[in-house]
Amino acid sequence: MGSENVFRFSVSAPQKLVEEFDTTIKKIGYDRSKAIQTAMRSFLDDYKLSHDVKEDVAGGLVIIYDHDVRGLEEGLTDIQHIYQNIISSTTHLHLDKHHCLEIIAVKGDAKLARKLSEEIMKKRGVKQNRLVVTTIAAQKSGSPNR
């Protein structure tokens, strides 16, 4: 760790999540501290990639949520109506008795795509939310990432 200061903090998480986390990190030889640091860096990288883009984007927002949370589905629909000018389509899948996955295809202003993602993540019952986008300009220019 060199001369970098270390800050200790505690984290609260559901027992099942912690057990799965511990099992996984044991398989790859990480301890909790190393795994949390890796996850934090990945979170920050994802945030920077999806939040520093200024031009138009195309991509998808993938959401996993608990459909038993009262009012959540109506709230998600209300948010999508607000951002309908950048939403191309929505696909809804039932994962199990309590959980749904929704994929929202977006195209347009990067700032609006980020705001859509942030508004959805604020909703109680949303368990995961991942915005994956690429710039439209990169695709038009013949980028090798097609």
What is the per-residue pLDDT across 40-69, written as a single tens digit (0 to 9) for each?
887 876 676 666 777 788 999 999 999 999
By residue range, what is the domain housing residue 19?
15-47
Q: Say whether both 20 and 75 belong to one domain.
A: no
The pLDDT confidence band at residue 145, using thresholds 50, 70 and 90, is very low
According to the model, what pLDDT value does residue 80 have?
Answer: 97
pLDDT the model gives residue 140: 56
Strands 87-94 and 126-135: unpaired
Q: Give residue-wise pLDDT tens across range 115-134.
A: 999 999 999 999 999 998 87
Q: How many domains does the chain have?
A: 2
**Closest of 146, 83, 81, 93 to residue 116, by C-alpha:** 83
Looking at the structure, tell me whether residues 61 and 93 fall in a common domain. yes
Residues 64 and 109 in one domain: yes
Q: Are 28 and 65 in the same domain?
A: no
Residue 25 structure tokens: 């990190």
Pairing outcome for strands 99-109 and 56-66: antiparallel
Tell me: do 88 and 128 sit in the same domain.
yes
Pair (67, 133) in one structural domain: yes
How many Cα atoms sit within 13 Å of 89 on the Cβ side? 2
Asked if residue 75 and residue 37 are part of one domain, the reply reads no
Chain-centroid distance, C-alpha 79: 16
Whether residue 91 contacts residue 103, with contact meaning beta carbons closer than 8 Å, is answered with yes
74 assigned to some structural domain = yes
User: Is residue 5, in this structure, part of any structural domain at all?
Assistant: no
